[in-house]
């Protein structure tokens, strides 16, 4: 059975040594001293390690079952959900007005990483509820908020997001679900939604569905979509539950992974719904919290990589095969542990250097979201909007790749069920697809975010990196040569790619769109190179201070050097691909394939 140990020390390093959260002028951050965050993370670690992680293979093996319209979650899920609820974990970053704890999102992100690593399918029940909470909190009426939010904060009630229909997912302008106004200011919702995560299950007393639908007079396309609250059980004036609404789970999807989460076909047959916000403004409402939702998926991607890596490492330190070519390391044993072999190291270092860089990138992103939401900082909002598709796309592609690398460390054992690695691979795979496929992320990045506000945010990004290099160079030769120089080179590749798009993509958009995916990865590498440079400086500062764990800081530096030397050169290939433009990509007729 796979193991999970929450990486609290690494998390603390990012929060306090790198991001220095307690020193940031963001409302609520001043309370986040080391002792406070340590206490929160330690408690979350216990729950993750002792309760959630052991249920992960159980959820995979049992899956969810639909019986007479009721979805049964795997054994132990309900008890565990009670523990998560009772510990107040579902309320962590929610509004105190509705029973939340009001902590910053960056703290919830660190906790979320643990829960996702420990049991991604399980944590989605809460995650989807939180997403629905966010949408109602941002766009619901006062009455709606009072009616639904407190129970959603506590996760006594679940929440879902209903977008996709059989004939459309990416292109939501095509949806057919209808919302017909009734005399009592409610709407009659009719249509079929698919791939609804946590659409029906037995862990909550009620489920609050958020459903995209079209009013009879709706304009064509995405400008004609409205958002509705459609509760499973109607809620009486006094807050008690009333009649069952006319909606049902029509089936569960059989899928590659996240078997512990119920992926439902939802049928709305004249169900009673309540409009959220204005008519025809549903897309905007649904996507207000998109940065946060997509960051959450990027987090899931590297979190699966993180737990997979832990198990790969344990195997590599334990499994005896062959001898170190530079001299026997385990003379008492029949062979040396496989971690002595350079190619096993290469594999482990690829995993480790990605995961730790991804963690810093994600927490930094969460800090920007806090800065935007809590401090009303428009620049932070612009920057995180730019970087969100990179966090989502790059971290899930690489996170999945990391699970595959970890699986490979185990050789044949990695392919078997009992070691658990193959589940991490199967579970991680969905992160590249949902919440907007990674192709869509790259399109969002290149087709929308680059040019947003006149290109202001991407210019700010380049200035930030340039300023960071200028500010820090010349004080430490190692930092200069091993971090700042490679970062500068990678950043130049990114700028060159942006320049190529400017010069070739305006007239011929396909020249830019053909390179969007490579650009997303190029950008991701630059961000991780930036993060590793920041982490290296923090580690150097830690060493210089003479306090703290010197070995920890040295390991951090060595891991960073690996990333800069061995991962960052990918930017050259991505740029080369981008600079070939659309010619070879679009050469064939669709029929010639």
- Binders of a second copy in range 19-78 (CB under 8 A): none
Beta carbons of 518 and 578 less than 8 angstroms apart: yes
As given in the structure block, the two tokens for residue 161 are 């997001």
Nearest CB to a second copy, comparing residues 477 and 551:
551
- Least distance from C-beta 112 to a second copy, angstroms? 22
Q: CA 89, CA 112: separation in Å to the nearest integer?
A: 9
What is the number of other CB atoms lying within 10 angstroms of the CB of residue 353? 22
Distance (Å, whole) CA 248 – CA 421: 35
Distances (CA, A) of 295 to 109, 129, 298, 393, 529: 9, 16, 5, 10, 19
Question: Residue 255 is encoded by which pair of tokens?
Answer: 């899928």
Nearer to a second copy (CB atom), residue 84 or residue 121: 121
Return the residues of window 394-413 that contact a second copy according to CB under 8 A.
400, 404, 407-408, 411-412
| Spatial separation of the C-alpha atoms in residues 102 and 332, rounded to whole Å | 56
Binding to a second copy by residue 477, rule CB under 8 A?
no
Binding mask 123-162 for a second copy (x = CB under 8 A): ----------------------------------------
- Give the active site residue among 435, 471, 485, 579: 435
Closest approach, Cβ 570 to a second copy, in A, equals 5
Q: Are strands 157-162 and 206-213 parallel, antiparallel or unpaired?
A: parallel
Selection from 529, 530, 506, 525 nearest residue 450 by Cα: 506
As a whole number of angstroms, the distance between CA 303 and CA 295 comes to 12
Residue 76 CB, shortest distance to a second copy, in Å, is 20
**Closest listed residue to residue 401, CA positions, set 461, 353, 337:** 353
| Residue 342 within binding range of a second copy, rule CB under 8 A | yes
Cα atoms in the 13 Å half-sphere on the side-chain side of 351: 27
Q: Going by C-beta distance under 8 Å and a sequence separation of 6 or more, which residues neighbour residue 499? A: none
Which x/- pattern over 292-331 shows residues binding a second copy (rule: CB under 8 A)? Answer: ---------------------x---x--xxx--xx--x--
User: What is the three-class DSSP state of 541?
Assistant: helix
Alpha carbons 252 and 99: distance in angstroms, whole number: 33
Q: Whole-angstrom Cα distance, residue 545 to residue 519? A: 39
User: Smaller CB distance to a second copy: residue 46 or 167?
Assistant: 167
The nearer residue to a second copy, 19 or 440, going by C-beta atoms, is 440
Least CB distance to a second copy at residue 36 (A):
29
Report which secondary-structure segment, H or E, holds 537: helix 516-545
CA atoms 71, 75, 79, 81: torsion sign: negative
Q: For a second copy, which is the closer residue by CB, 236 or 317?
A: 317
List binders of a second copy among 157-186 (CB under 8 A). 164, 167-171, 174
Binding mask 252-271 for a second copy (x = CB under 8 A): -xxxxx--------------
Structure tokens at 230: 């459609």
Do 93 and 108 contact (CB within 8 A), yes or no?
Answer: yes
Which one of residues 343, 454, 507, 546 is an interface residue with a second copy (CB under 8 A)?
343
Smallest distance, a second copy to C-beta of residue 306, A? 13
Separation of alpha carbons 338 and 413, rounded Å: 14
Q: Binding a second copy by CB under 8 A: which of 315, 434, 523, 530? A: 434
Mark whether 23 is an active-site residue.
no
Instruction: Quote the least distance from Cβ 310 to a second copy, whole Å.
Output: 10
Smallest separation, CB 445 to a second copy (Å): 11
- Candidates 192, 288, 437, 495; binder of a second copy (CB under 8 A) is 437
Closest approach, Cβ 212 to a second copy, in A, equals 16
CA 145 to chain CA mean position, Å: 26
Residue from the set 433, 460, 496, 543 that interacts with a second copy by CB under 8 A: 433
Q: Under the criterion CB under 8 A, does residue 222 sit at the interface with a second copy?
A: no
Q: Which is nearer to a second copy, 296 or 382 (CB)?
A: 296
> Residue 346, interface with a second copy (CB under 8 A)?
yes
Place of tokens 């170190």: 324
Q: How many residues of this chain bind a second copy (CB under 8 A)?
A: 93
Q: Which of these ranges, 101-109, 229-237, 514-522, 529-537, lies near a second copy under the rule CB under 8 A?
A: 514-522
Residue with Cβ nearer a second copy (318 or 471): 318
Q: Under the phi-then-psi rule, with left for phi > 0, alpha for psi from -120 to 50, and beta for the rest, what region is 327?
A: left
Interacting residue with a second copy among 195, 302, 500, 553 (CB under 8 A): 195
Whole-number Cα distances in Å, 353 to 113, 120, 335, 349? 17, 22, 27, 6
Residues 85, 429, 521, 540: which binds a second copy (CB under 8 A)? 429
- Give me the helix-helix angle, 105-139 and 77-86, nearest 10°: 90
Burial 520-544 (b: 16+ CB within 10 A, else e): bbbbbbbbbbbbbbbbbbbbbebbe
Choice between 83 and 317, CB closer to a second copy:
317
* CB 182 to a second copy: min, Å: 28
Q: Restricting to residues 549-578, which ones interact with a second copy according to CB under 8 A?
A: 551, 554-555, 558-559, 561-562, 565-566, 569-570, 572-573, 576-577
Please give the residues from 525 up to 554 whose contact with a second copy meets the rule CB under 8 A.
551, 554
Contact between 422 and a second copy by CB under 8 A: the answer reads yes
Among 344, 355, 469, 531, binds a second copy (CB under 8 A): 344
Q: For the beta carbon of residue 562, count every other beta carbon within 10 angstroms.
A: 20
Distance CA 528, CA 18 (A): 13
Q: How far is the CB of 343 from a second copy (least distance, A)?
A: 4
Stretch that binds a second copy, among 62-70, 101-109, 113-121, 336-344 (CB under 8 A): 336-344
Nearer to a second copy, 35 or 220 (CB): 220
- Taking the complex as a whole, the smallest distance from the CB of residue 335 to a second copy amounts, in Å, to 6
Q: CA dist 523 to 361, 445, 474, Å?
A: 12, 10, 25
Contact residue for a second copy among 99, 224, 509, 548 (CB under 8 A): 509
Distance between CA atoms of 360 and 354, rounded to whole angstroms?
10
| Nearer residue to a second copy within complex by CB, 29 or 309 | 309
Q: Which is nearer to a second copy, 370 or 422 (CB)?
A: 422
Query: What residues are annotated to the active site?
Result: 435
């Amino acid at each position: 059975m796979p193991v999970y140990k929450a990486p609290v020390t690494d998390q603390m390093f990012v929060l306090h040594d790198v991001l220095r959260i307690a020193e940031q002028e963001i409302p609520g951050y001043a309370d986040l001293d080391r002792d406070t965050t340590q206490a929160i993370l330690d408690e979350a670690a216990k729950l993750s390690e002792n309760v959630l992680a052991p249920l992960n293979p159980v959820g995979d093996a049992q899956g969810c079952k639909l019986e007479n319209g009721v979805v049964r979650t795997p054994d132990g899920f309900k008890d565990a959900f009670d523990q998560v609820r009772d510990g107040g974990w579902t309320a962590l970053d929610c509004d105190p007005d509705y029973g939340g704890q009001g902590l910053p999102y960056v703290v919830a992100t660190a906790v979320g990483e643990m829960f996702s690593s420990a049991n991604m399918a399980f944590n989605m029940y809460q995650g989807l509820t939180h997403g629905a909470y966010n949408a109602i909190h941002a766009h619901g009426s006062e009455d709606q908020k009072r009616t639904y939010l407190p129970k959603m904060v506590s996760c006594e009630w679940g929440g879902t997001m209903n977008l996709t229909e059989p004939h459309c997912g990416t292109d939501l302008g095509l949806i057919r679900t209808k919302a017909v106004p009734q005399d009592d200011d409610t709407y009659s919702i009719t249509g079929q939604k698919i791939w609804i995560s946590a659409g029906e299950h037995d862990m909550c007393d009620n489920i609050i569905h958020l459903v995209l639908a079209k009013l009879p007079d709706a304009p064509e396309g995405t400008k004609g979509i409205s958002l509705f609250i459609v509760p499973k059980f109607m809620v009486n004036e006094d807050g008690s539950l009333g009649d069952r609404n006319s909606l049902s789970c029509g089936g569960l999807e059989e899928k590659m992974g996240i078997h512990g989460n119920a992926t439902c076909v939802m049928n709305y047959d004249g169900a009673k719904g309540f409009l959220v916000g204005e008519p025809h403004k549903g897309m905007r409402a649904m996507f207000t919290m998109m940065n946060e939702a997509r960051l959450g998926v990027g987090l899931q991607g590297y979190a699966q990589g993180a737990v997979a890596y832990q198990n790969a490492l344990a195997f590599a330190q334990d499994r005896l095969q062959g001898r170190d070519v530079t001299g026997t390391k385990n003379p008492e044993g029949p062979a040396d542990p496989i971690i002595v072999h350079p190619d096993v190291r290469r594999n482990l270092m690829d995993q480790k250097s990605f995961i730790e860089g991804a963690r810093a990138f994600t927490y930094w992103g969460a800090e920007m979201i806090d800065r935007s939401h809590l401090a009303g900082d428009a620049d932070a909002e612009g920057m995180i909007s730019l970087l969100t598709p990179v966090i989502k796309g790059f971290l899930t592609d690489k996170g999945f790749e990391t699970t595959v690398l970890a699986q490979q460390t185990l050789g044949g054992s990695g392919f078997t069920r009992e070691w658990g690695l193959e589940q991490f691979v199967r579970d991680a795979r969905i992160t590249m697809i949902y919440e907007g496929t990674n192709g869509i992320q790259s399109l969002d990045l290149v087709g929308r975010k680059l040019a947003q506000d006149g290109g202001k945010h991407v210019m700010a990004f380049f200035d930030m990196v340039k300023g960071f290099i200028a500010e820090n160079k010349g004080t430490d030769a190692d930092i200069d040569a091993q971090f700042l120089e490679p970062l500068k080179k990678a950043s130049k590749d990114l700028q060159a790619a942006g320049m190529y798009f400017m010069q070739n993509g305006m007239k011929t958009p396909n020249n830019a769109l053909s390179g969007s995916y490579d650009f997303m990865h190029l950008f991701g590498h630059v961000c991780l190179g930036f993060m590793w440079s920041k982490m290296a400086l923090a580690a150097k500062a830690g060493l210089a201070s003479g306090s703290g764990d010197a070995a920890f800081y040295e390991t951090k530096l060595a891991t960073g050097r690996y990333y800069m030397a061995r991962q960052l050169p990918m930017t050259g290939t991505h740029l080369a691909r981008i600079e070939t433009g659309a010619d070879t990509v679009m050469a064939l007729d669709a029929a010639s394939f």
